[in-house]
């Protein structure tokens, strides 16, 4: 904690930059602009890419009924089957019968059983909100995240089909398996924690083993499954379950092959009638690609991208979990790039064009979400499609290659929500790669995010992985380090509102105010009226957190077990080590490593609240505990003096490099991580804590009573690892170096499921070559101080306000929300305001 | 030997006064009174109170300042919000600033020792090292507290930290000379070449400043020179030409960079907080035309062989 002392080691890291021969197409230090420009020109050098990008932006967010129809037909036809077979048959029915789409100028095929940008419906998970919202609060009329049902006929068909699913969906079954005691703190009760994500939707949140698929092809994986099935003994007590798993796997993989073959056929047919020779050739080549990879391994870079897109979209057809991440894409894709270059099969420019076409295509999958979810988490994409580049290889050496550079170039040439590019940094990351990443950041569209190999690898090892495995982590979703193809981490398992837990701490386990004021929700571990000293407060925090983490984790284990019963995912399981080998679906714990990872929000809200208590009640003794308690019970009304005081710099606040305040943050951070880490989950793995909340801090704040950091009822709680900002003022007033120092006083590796830090600079702060170097050295120092993750918005408050006023001029302005970027003008007003209120770091 | 200094503000992560990421100390007290000054809180040497009326939560909800003030007549309320303080009566005991919960009354200036400053400096040392940054002392006029600056810079040099002094150089040469061994970079101004006009707009004539610039340039110490370009005050051709002549002839062109800082309307709120008039209040000018003029001035200097740029960003030498 003592930053005053100097250690020799710290002095040695400075100054030396490493270099690479890896090259993209642009100069490594090409400047891509500074922030978003109204009326900007096309960003990509490829007209095709600009065309595809624009057609994406122009397309409406429709709701498509076809998947719902095909799934329902199949379930009805197979009602007596074992569930896993029923699931596989439904998947097969979609793949054999859904409408295929090949779009003008596209080079990569495959959607998610719906037209581009249209959302399918996944009745397996939940339908009651769909029925309710269509009837009572139409998707078309939402203030944000609108979706459009095409016509009355579709509307009626959706309603009719959804009726079949009543009482059968995962959500209803999970709810029926939770008792009142479990519900009271959940999203169905007081929202101390929210696990509704996986009541309403699939799990997702993984990176599959792409190398396995690329090198074996579907035929190779089928072969593996058949061989394992052949070895299955009838003496095995789980014989029938395993048999059904293998059967489901074979059905699913065979269906995948047929589906790809259908695309080949369609492309051939379209080529026959295509008058443009160039396009005809492209269609023929795409048909040939599909014919090869329908069963076989990818033989070229283009085929690898094509197989990748099928692999991912099929995952999204099987289930609707988000954060289907792309793993270390510059690594697993590199052999194909290298081979193509060696054989002079394509030039580097076409490689980049293909990557950019794929990037645009990655934006097509959208997902209809319930109104409660979009309140806490804006965005109509699936979300979480992280693409990891850079980092060290399994030996610990830098892994940068040409694709690392090209993947950043493709990102800055397209500037869309997807993919969420993540750069893994370590002490030997080459200068050229860092500069290119910084130039992307300065362009102001929010990508890439930076991840630190140091604490991430340490976190992976503490989850039980070997060093070699740990070094191969990829980032999934926002900030979750995960081992591709070997880990089913059940990430983003639930949002935990630590501010709400603290409410119980100060008020004897009771709700402070509102309609349920005085209701005994948690155990009585004391209150501000009873604590004799500050240590008693901290002990109470510990007890209260222990209780609520028990509640949370018991609910999550119920959810886990119901997904196993209701919606196993045999197609996805085939690409995870351990499933085919053991005859167990991933939902049954078949994968080598298993986690469950809920994430905390409001740590700084708690820390600054504790600071108010410590300072005013126990140190200065200016106020009694009761006076503080009354202030928040009254939502600060009639306590204006105290309100001003707790929001002033007279109270030590987290984020200012003040050891006293930062120790309280550390206490809260460590307390949450300790109570989650190491608990056993339903799949034979362990729970894993994360300290990131995406933008759920806004929605959670809406349900949280006033807090002693100086927050009023309904205001956002603190975001991720960030400091507090309330309507009474931003609590971080000492600039970005102080924030970094505060944030890095905690051991980030304790949050084995990741931490998240947002920083925002106005454009002029990072302008010029000087600004680039400042940002570079700033990131380098954050990494040296062992922060796990950092991402930047390069956008002034004025620009965001201008976009609120004239949204039409800012239609494609991306803003970094949390782990992800989103179109600013499509966000809900509360989130827009929260982004504006996050401290702009000026100098 | 002064162990303490009156410090107005410590700003971490400044990027504009010297290269790289820096921690900057603004020392209180200045012998100049430039009309365009954006930091009027730096004028007097003694700590004083600043009043930010819009932060006051009203005397009906809080009377903490009244409870500590020695003479209630000094606190002037409008619509029950503290509006200003009678500066003639105020002894600057600062007790009201200490108790004010809403920071409507804030202390301008506080004492810090060299050790206290070093503690803050060390916290960002990694950032300086990576960015080629360091410590800058500015003001006010830091040479008013030159002993302290000398000790602080000595402590910095012992830690290998880059030091930069931003000063008007309105001081006796011996004070500057004593800082030469511990100062890596100087930043100073050429405000107006005509001494009478200099006196009119800054309160002092420019003889001492120009002499010191000549002497300093002869030492070959790295020097960044700035012209705060103020509409209708120093943006005329005569002054610009005289400035170039001075740099080339008297200073032998020994200026690392000449930075043109275009006038910005800054600090009005701070003037209000101090109960002082803002002299640029009535200045009316066409921002776009002025900016073009500044660009032309930059071209002129560069044509004369003086490395000149607009703005204060400085490339670090790593």
Q: What is the mean pLDDT of residues B177-186?
A: 98
Q: What are phi and psi of A374, to 5 degrees?
A: -70, -15
Task: Please provide the average confidence, as pLDDT, over all residues in chain B.
Answer: 94
Q: What is the mean pLDDT of residues B164-190?
A: 98
Q: What is the pLDDT of residue B317?
A: 62
Give the model confidence (pLDDT) of A601-617 as tens digits. Answer: 999 999 999 999 999 99
Q: What is the pLDDT of residue B314?
A: 74
pLDDT band at A375 (very low <50, low <70, confident <90, very high): confident
Domain around A339: 19-58+322-484+757-843
Q: pLDDT higher for A841 or A440?
A: A440
Residue A237, domain member (yes or no): no
Task: Please provide the average confidence, as pLDDT, over all residues in chain A.
Answer: 94
Over 50: is that where the pLDDT of A843 sits?
Answer: no
Give the model confidence (pLDDT) of B283-318 as tens digits. Answer: 888 989 999 999 999 999 999 999 999 988 777 665
Residue A127, domain member (yes or no): yes
Over 80: is that where the pLDDT of B61 sits?
Answer: yes
Residues A175 and A195 in one domain: no
CB of B67 within 8 Å of any CB in chain A? no
Residue A301, domain member (yes or no): no
Q: Which of B89, B87, B81 is nearest to B50 (CA)?
A: B87
Q: What is the mean pLDDT of residues B222-250?
A: 97
CB of B62 within 8 Å of any CB in chain A? yes
Q: A693: Cβ–Cβ under 8 A, 6 or more apart, which residues?
A: A495, A599, A600, A601, A602, A700, A719, A720, A756, A818
Over 60: is that where the pLDDT of A3 sits?
Answer: no
pLDDT band at A7 (very low <50, low <70, confident <90, very high): very low
Q: What is the pLDDT of residue A255?
A: 98
Is A440 in the active site? no
Residue A298, domain member (yes or no): no
C-alpha dihedral over A181, A182, A184, A189, to 10 degrees?
-150
| Interface A-B: count of C-beta contacts within 8 A | 103
Q: Which of A565, A584, A588 is nearest to A245 (CA)?
A: A584
Residues A38 and A178 in one domain: no
Q: What is the pLDDT of residue A286?
A: 98
Residues A706 and A804 in one domain: no
Residues A490 and A612 in one domain: yes
Over 90: is that where the pLDDT of A573 sits?
Answer: yes
pLDDT band at A4 (very low <50, low <70, confident <90, very high): very low
Closest chain B C-alpha to A510 CA, distance in angstroms: 29
Mutate to test the interface with A, among B14, B16, B22, B127 (most CBs of A within 10 A): B127
Q: What is the pLDDT of residue B316?
A: 67
Mutate to test the interface with A, among B10, B11, B12 (most CBs of A within 10 A): B12
Residues A476 and A375 in one domain: yes
Percentage of residues of chain A with pLDDT beyond 70: 97
Q: What is the mean pLDDT of residues A334-349?
A: 92
pLDDT band at A818 (very low <50, low <70, confident <90, very high): low
Q: Do B159 and A781 touch (CB under 8 A)?
A: no
What is the model's pTM? 0.94
Give the model confidence (pLDDT) of A728-740 as tens digits. Answer: 988 999 999 999 9
- Domain end (from A707, A730, A756): A756
Residues A519 and A619 in one domain: yes
Interface of B with A in 218-277 (CB under 8 A): none
The domain that holds A830 is classified in CATH as 3.20.70.20
Q: Do B15 and A767 touch (CB under 8 A)?
A: no
Give the model confidence (pLDDT) of A803-813 as tens digits. Answer: 999 988 898 88
Q: What is the pLDDT of residue A765?
A: 84
Percentage of residues of chain B with pLDDT beyond 90: 84
Residues A662 and A691 in one domain: yes
Helices (H), A232-369: 239-273, 277-293, 301-318, 329-332, 334-342, 348-361
Residues A511 and A658 in one domain: yes
Residue A805, domain member (yes or no): yes
Q: Which of A763, A741, A589 is nearest to A680 (CA)?
A: A589
Query: What is the rounded distance in angstroms from the CA atom of residue A348 to the CA atom of residue A327?
Result: 22
Residues A673 and A805 in one domain: no
Contacts of B126 in chain A (CB under 8 A): 10, 14, 781, 784-785
Q: What is the mean pLDDT of residues A502-521?
A: 95
Q: Do A641 and B16 touch (CB under 8 A)?
A: no
pLDDT band at A1 (very low <50, low <70, confident <90, very high): very low
Query: What is the rounded distance in angstroms from the CA atom of residue B244 to the CA atom of residue A446?
Result: 44
Residue A239, domain member (yes or no): no
Residues A505 and A637 in one domain: yes
Whether the complex's predicted ipTM is more than 0.90 is answered with yes
Residue A267, domain member (yes or no): no
- Domain end (from A183, A217, A250): A183
What six digits make up the tokens of A158?
């959706």
Query: What is the rounded distance in angstroms from the CA atom of residue B197 to the CA atom of residue B46?
Result: 28
Give the model confidence (pLDDT) of B117-144 as tens digits. Answer: 999 999 999 999 999 999 999 999 999 9
Q: What is the pLDDT of residue A2?
A: 36
Per DSSP bridges, beta strands B75-78 and A324-325 are: unpaired
Distances (CA, A) of B129 to A658, B135, B136, B311: 22, 11, 14, 23
Percentage of residues of chain A with pLDDT beyond 90: 87
Give whichever of A379-388, A796-805, B157-166 has the largest mean pLDDT: B157-166
Give the model confidence (pLDDT) of A152-176 as tens digits. Answer: 999 999 999 999 999 999 999 999 9
Can you list the domains of chain B with their CATH numbers? 4-44+110-310 (3.20.20.70), 48-105 (3.30.70)
Closest chain B C-alpha to A710 CA, distance in angstroms: 12
Over 60: is that where the pLDDT of A15 sits?
Answer: no
Q: pLDDT higher for A344 or B66?
A: B66
Q: What is the pLDDT of residue A694?
A: 80
Q: What is the mean pLDDT of residues B264-293?
A: 88
Q: What is the pLDDT of residue A334?
A: 98
Residue A604, domain member (yes or no): yes
Residues A515 and A630 in one domain: yes
* Residues in a beta bridge with A719: none
Closest chain B C-alpha to A647 CA, distance in angstroms: 8
pLDDT band at A695 (very low <50, low <70, confident <90, very high): confident
Q: What is the mean pLDDT of residues A173-183?
A: 96
Over 50: is that where the pLDDT of A5 sits?
Answer: no
Query: What is the rounded distance in angstroms from the CA atom of residue A77 to the CA atom of residue A386?
Result: 37
Is A579 in the active site? no
Number of domains within chain A:
3
Residues A502 and A568 in one domain: yes
- Domain end (from A705, A732, A756): A756
Q: Do A781 and B12 touch (CB under 8 A)?
A: no
């Amino acid at each position: 904690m003592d930053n005053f002392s100097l250690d020799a080691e710290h002095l040695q890291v400075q100054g030396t930059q490493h270099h690479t021969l890896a090259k993209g197409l642009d100069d490594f230090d090409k400047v891509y602009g500074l922030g978003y420009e109204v009326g900007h020109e096309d960003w990509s050098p490829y007209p095709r890419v600009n065309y595809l990008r624009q057609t994406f932006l122009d397309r409406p967010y429709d709701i498509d009924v076809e998947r719902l129809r095909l799934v329902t037909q199949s379930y009805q036809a197979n009602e007596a089957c074992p569930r896993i077979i029923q699931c596989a048959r439904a998947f097969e029915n979609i793949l054999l019968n859904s409408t295929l789409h090949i779009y003008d100028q596209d080079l990569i095929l495959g959607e998610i059983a719906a037209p581009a940008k249209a959302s399918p419906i996944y009745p397996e998970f939940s339908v009651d909100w769909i029925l309710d919202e269509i009837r009572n609060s139409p998707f078309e009329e939402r203030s944000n995240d609108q979706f459009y049902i095409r016509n009355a006929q579709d509307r009626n068909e959706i309603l009719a089909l959804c009726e079949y699913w009543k009482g059968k969906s995962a959500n209803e079954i999970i709810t029926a398996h939770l008792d009142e005691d479990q519900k009271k703190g959940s999203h169905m009760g007081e929202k101390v924690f929210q696990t509704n994500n996986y009541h309403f939707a699939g799990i997702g949140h993984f990176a599959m083993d792409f190398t396995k698929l690329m090198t074996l092809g579907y035929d190779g994986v089928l072969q593996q499954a058949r061989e394992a099935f052949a070895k299955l003994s009838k003496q095995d007590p789980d014989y029938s379950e395993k048999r059904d798993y293998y059967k489901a796997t074979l059905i699913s993989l065979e269906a995948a092959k047929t589906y790809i073959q259908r695309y080949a056929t369609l492309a051939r047919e379209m080529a026959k009638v295509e008058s443009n020779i160039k396009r005809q050739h492209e269609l023929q080549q795409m048909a040939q690609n599909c014919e090869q990879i329908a069963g076989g391994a990818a033989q070229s870079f283009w085929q690898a991208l094509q197989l990748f897109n099928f692999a991912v979209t099929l995952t999204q057809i099987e289930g609707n979990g988000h954060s289907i991440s792309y793993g270390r894409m510059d690594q697993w894709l590199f052999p194909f790039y290298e081979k193509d270059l060696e054989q002079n099969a394509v030039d580097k420019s076409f490689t980049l064009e293909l990557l950019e076409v794929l990037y645009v295509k990655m934006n097509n999958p959208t997902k209809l979400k319930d109104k409660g979810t979009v309140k806490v988490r804006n965005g109509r994409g699936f979300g979480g499609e992280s693409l990891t580049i850079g980092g060290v290889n399994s030996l610990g050496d830098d892994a940068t290659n040409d694709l690392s550079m090209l993947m950043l170039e493709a990102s800055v040439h397209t500037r869309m929500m997807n993919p969420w590019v993540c750069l893994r940094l370590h002490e030997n990351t080459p200068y050229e790669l860092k500069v290119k990443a910084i130039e992307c950041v300065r362009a102001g569209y929010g990508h890439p995010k930076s991840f630190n190999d140091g604490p991430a690898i340490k976190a992976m090892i503490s989850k039980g992985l070997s060093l070699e495995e740990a070094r191969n982590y990829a980032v999934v979703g926002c900030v979750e380090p995960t081992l591709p193809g070997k880990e089913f981490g059940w990430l983003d398992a639930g949002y935990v509102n630590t501010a709400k837990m603290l409410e119980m701490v100060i008020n004897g386990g009771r709700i402070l105010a509102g309609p349920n004021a005085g209701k005994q929700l948690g155990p009585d571990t004391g209150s501000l009226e009873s604590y004799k000293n500050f240590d008693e407060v901290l002990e109470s925090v510990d007890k209260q957190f222990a209780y609520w983490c028990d509640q949370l984790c018991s609910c999550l284990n119920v959810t886990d077990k119901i997904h196993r019963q209701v919606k196993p995912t045999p197609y996805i399981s085939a690409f995870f080590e351990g499933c085919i080998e053991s005859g167990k679906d991933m939902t049954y714990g078949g994968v080598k490593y298993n986690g469950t990872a809920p994430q905390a929000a409001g740590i700084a809200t708690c820390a600054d609240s504790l600071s108010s208590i410590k300072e005013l009640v126990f140190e200065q003794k200016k106020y009694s505990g009761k006076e503080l308690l009354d202030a928040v019970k009254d939502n600060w009304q009639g306590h204006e003096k105290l309100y001003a005081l707790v929001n002033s710099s007279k109270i030590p606040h987290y984020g200012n490099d003040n050891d006293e305040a930062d120790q309280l943050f550390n206490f809260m951070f460590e307390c949450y991580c300790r109570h989650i880490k190491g608990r056993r989950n339903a799949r034979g793995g362990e729970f894993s804590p994360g300290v990131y909340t995406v933008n759920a801090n806004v929605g959670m704040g809406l349900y949280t009573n006033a807090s002693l950091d100086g927050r009023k009822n309904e205001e956002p709680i603190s975001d991720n690892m960030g400091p507090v900002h309330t309507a009474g003022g931003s609590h971080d007033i000492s600039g970005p170096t102080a924030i970094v120092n505060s944030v890095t006083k905690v051991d980030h590796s304790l949050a084995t499921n990741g931490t998240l830090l947002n920083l925002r600079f106005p454009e002029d702060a990072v302008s010029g070559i000087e600004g680039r170097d400042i940002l570079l050295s700033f990131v380098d120092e954050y990494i040296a101080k062992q922060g796990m993750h950092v991402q930047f918005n390069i956008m002034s408050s004025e620009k965001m306000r201008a976009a609120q006023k004239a949204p039409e001029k800012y239609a494609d302005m991306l803003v970094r929300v949390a782990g992800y970027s989103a179109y600013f003008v499509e966000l809900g007003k509360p989130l827009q305001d929260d982004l504006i209120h996050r401290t702009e770091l000026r100098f | 030997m002064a162990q303490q200094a009156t410090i107005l503000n410590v700003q971490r992560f400044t990027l504009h006064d010297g290269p790289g990421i820096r921690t900057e100390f603004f020392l209180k007290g200045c012998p100049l009174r430039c009309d365009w000054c954006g930091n009027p809180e730096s004028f007097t040497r003694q700590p004083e109170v600043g009043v930010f009326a819009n932060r006051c939560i009203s005397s009906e909800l809080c009377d903490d300042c009244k409870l500590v003030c020695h003479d209630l007549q000094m606190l002037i309320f409008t619509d029950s919000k503290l509006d200003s303080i009678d500066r003639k009566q105020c002894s600057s005991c600062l007790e009201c600033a200490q108790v004010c919960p809403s920071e409507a009354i804030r202390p301008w200036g506080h004492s810090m020792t060299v050790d206290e400053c070093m503690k803050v400096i060390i916290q960002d040392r990694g950032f300086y090292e990576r960015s080629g940054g360091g410590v800058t002392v500015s003001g006010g006029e830091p040479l008013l507290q030159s002993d302290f600056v000398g000790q602080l810079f000595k402590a910095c040099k012992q830690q290998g930290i880059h030091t930069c002094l931003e000063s008007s150089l309105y001081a006796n040469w011996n004070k500057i000379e004593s800082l030469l061994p511990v100062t890596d970079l100087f930043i100073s101004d050429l405000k107006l070449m005509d001494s009478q006009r200099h006196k009119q707009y800054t309160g002092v004539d420019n003889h001492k400043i120009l002499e010191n610039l000549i002497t300093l340039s002869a030492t070959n110490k790295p020097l960044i020179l700035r012209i705060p370009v103020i509409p209708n005050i120093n943006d005329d051709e005569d002054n610009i030409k005289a400035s170039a002549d001075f740099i080339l002839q008297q200073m032998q062109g020994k200026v690392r960079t000449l930075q043109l800082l275009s006038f910005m309307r800054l600090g009005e709120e701070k003037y209000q907080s101090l109960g002082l008039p803002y002299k640029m209040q009535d200045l009316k000018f066409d921002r776009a035309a002025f900016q073009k003029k500044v660009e032309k001035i930059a071209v002129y200097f560069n044509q004369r062989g003086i490395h000149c740029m607009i703005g204060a960003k400085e490339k670090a030498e790593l």
